[in-house]
Amino acid sequence: MKNIASIIILFCLSFQICAKSTNKKIDTLLNELFEKNGPGGVALVVRDGKTIYRKAFGMANLELGVEMKPENVFRIGSITKQFTASAIMQLVEKGKINLDDDITEYIKDYPTHGYTITIENLLTHTSGIKSYTGMKKWTKEVRKQDVTPKEMVDYFKSEPMDFTPGEKFLYDNSGYFLLGYIIEIVSGQTYAEYIQQHIFTPLGMKNSYYGGNSPIIKNRAAGYAKDENGYKNDDFLSMTRPFAAGSLLSTVDDLSTWYAAVMSDKVMTKASRSKAHSVFTLNDGSQTDYGFGWAIGNIQGSPMISHNGGINGFLSASNYLTNEKVFVAVLSNCLCNFPGDVAEKLAAIAIGKPFLDRKKITLKEEALKSYEAVYTSESDDERIITFDEGKLYSMRTGGSRYELLPYAKDKFFFDGDTITLEFIRDSQNAIVSVILKSTRSDKKWVRSDKPIPTLTTIEVDENQFKIYIGEYALTENFHLKMFTVDNKMYTQATSQEKIEIVGTDLHKFSLIGVDAQLTFNLDEGDKVISVTLHQNGDHEAKKID
């Protein structure tokens, strides 16, 4: 008996040491994410129903000097989509909705442009309907105005389709807004009433709400953003605008209750849950990495369902590892603190498979240059690998250039990220492809014979550039500034870092390190009136200053 007691004591001590070590690792990650005296956040890690980490960081209200606490209530943004999708599945189970139904079965006057757009298309972001949050008329003033669901549907319904339904995945807030509207039509309740009566109340989620701005909500955190002048209260948003795509408020504890209820089939049947947590197959037979309101992926090989959110003043991340029954949530009250990568790292720590602190190794210049090429994918986008001044870089079509850091033969990582790139060789030891490995899905690009694009520049002195200096509005609250510093020319987008630009032709410039170009447009009097940003399409910004 004495020996058994000793073993038990040793086991308990070992567990406590492991727990302290785990908490220390988590503390380090979260202290790096949240400033002590800035906007903060709350993190929760639960394993098999037991809380192993629960802590708050930073400030819930900067103006009043209120520190964050674990009970604080946050806007959860697009995590709302899980609740909307689950409500739809409840109505499917009651025979009131069919996933294969055309949406005109419920919204009679919705223009489908000759296509069949199903409920399932809305759930999986494959409808082709344009997302209202990406429309030019989605301005700061529009976002302040209260609307009814029907008025909001009328706001975007006449926009042209982005693609044929089922052709591809494109994240779409309009689709989930429509789902909320359909819930109201079918149930006879408002969306807020339905979620409260069928989800929040029966599950005991007492600190979760439909996110109106007027109600007094205990422990509600204030929402912030950050610009070149520091922290600021983020812009006002009428919560009638995000609606079923992002209007809900919650806490880390209530989200844990939610995931536990979903996984124990208290929200919908096991068959419905299995459907919601399965990837969608597109028209061409390829698969997305999204189900109904959940992204489908893995953490270090362990299956994961997840969703993140972003809305005025707030960012959120939630993950659930289905085999280990691990739930992680990190909620932030500032658009400046991005919790997604950290939440993934916490989940990996919780299952004993932490993402390694990869150490950069040194490769000779000749070895680094061997990876240079244009790599192409089936979706027609490209990943360009280039060598420049002793470093290797990766840039995807329409994206920014990032340094690749080698940590093993043919393996590279991005600084501070969980994503890696692995180059694949054939039997002759020739590099034939590159695979991006992430927590969502792996993607492959094949090495091509295309020449690496080169940039031919022209001399543009500071005096010539003066006609372009000023501010240009892409949307009401997203501007591009043009200016010079130390005889170099720069552009800077709202809330982003400045980027150097170089001349390539008359009135044309390219951004350094970004797959984007600028064309300045002049009137008949040679006065600059706008600039066109060429990045994933053409976007004209009128000069306002």
3-state secondary structure 11-30: HHHHHHHHHHHHHHHHHHHH
For position 82, what pLDDT does the model report?
Answer: 98
What is the C-alpha to C-alpha distance for residues 418 and 341, in angstroms, rounded to an integer?
Answer: 7
Does residue 73 have a pLDDT over 80? yes
pLDDT digits (tens, 9 = 90+) for 414-430: 887 778 899 999 999 99
CB neighbour burial string for 391-415, b if at least 16 within 10 angstroms, e if fewer: ebbbbbeebebbebbbeeeebbbee
Other C-beta atoms closer than 10 Å to the C-beta of 520 total 18
Residue ranges of the domains in the chain? 74-350, 365-447, 462-543
Query: Considering Cα of 120, then 121, then 123, then 129, what sign does the dihedral take?
Result: negative
For position 241, what pLDDT does the model report?
Answer: 97
- Select from 513, 516, 533 the least CA-distant residue to 472: 533
Assigned fold of 462-543? Lipocalin (2.40.128)
Does residue 11 have a pLDDT over 60? no
For position 20, what pLDDT does the model report?
Answer: 65
Indicate the range of 4-8, 227-231, 352-356, 491-495 predicted with least confidence: 4-8
Reported for 508-512, long-range contacts at CB under 8 A and 24+ positions apart, including other chains, are: 509/460, 510/455, 510/457
- Residue that has been written with the tokens 């390219």 in this structure: 510
Other C-beta atoms closer than 10 Å to the C-beta of 283 total 12
User: pLDDT tier at 252 (50, 70, 90 boundaries)?
Assistant: very high
pLDDT digits (tens, 9 = 90+) for 141-166: 999 999 999 999 999 999 999 999 99
Other C-beta atoms closer than 10 Å to the C-beta of 108 total 8
97: left (phi over 0), alpha (psi -120 to 50) or beta: beta
Does residue 21 have a pLDDT over 80? no
Does residue 15 have a pLDDT over 80? no
For position 7, what pLDDT does the model report?
Answer: 44
Residue 148, amino acid: T
Does residue 233 have a pLDDT over 70? yes
| Mean pLDDT, residues 262-289 taken together | 96
| Mean pLDDT, residues 127-137 taken together | 93
| Mean pLDDT, residues 19-42 taken together | 90
Assigned fold of 74-350? Beta-lactamase (3.40.710)
| Mean pLDDT, residues 327-355 taken together | 94
The gap between the terminal CA atoms of the chain, to the nearest Å, is: 83
Q: 85 by DSSP, 3-state: which?
A: helix
CATH for 365-447? Answer: 2.40.128.50
Q: Do domains 365-447 and 462-543 have the same CATH topology?
A: yes
For position 12, what pLDDT does the model report?
Answer: 40
Does residue 131 have a pLDDT over 90? yes
Percentage above 70 pLDDT, the chain: 95
Give the C-alpha distances (Å, rounded to integers) separating 310 from 44, 173, 247, 248, 457: 18, 12, 11, 12, 38
| Mean pLDDT, residues 90-100 taken together | 98
Indicate the range of 178-182, 329-333, 522-526 predicted with least confidence: 522-526
pLDDT digits (tens, 9 = 90+) for 353-395: 888 777 889 999 999 999 999 999 877 788 999 999 899 999 9
**Composition of the chain by helix, strand, coil, percent to 5:** 25, 30, 40
Does residue 196 have a pLDDT over 50? yes
For position 19, what pLDDT does the model report?
Answer: 58
For position 437, what pLDDT does the model report?
Answer: 85
Residue 152 — φ and ψ, nearest 5°? -70, -40
Give the C-alpha distances (Å, rounded to integers) separating 39 from 27, 226, 329: 17, 10, 17
Q: 400 by DSSP, 3-state: which?
A: strand
pLDDT digits (tens, 9 = 90+) for 455-469: 888 888 878 899 999
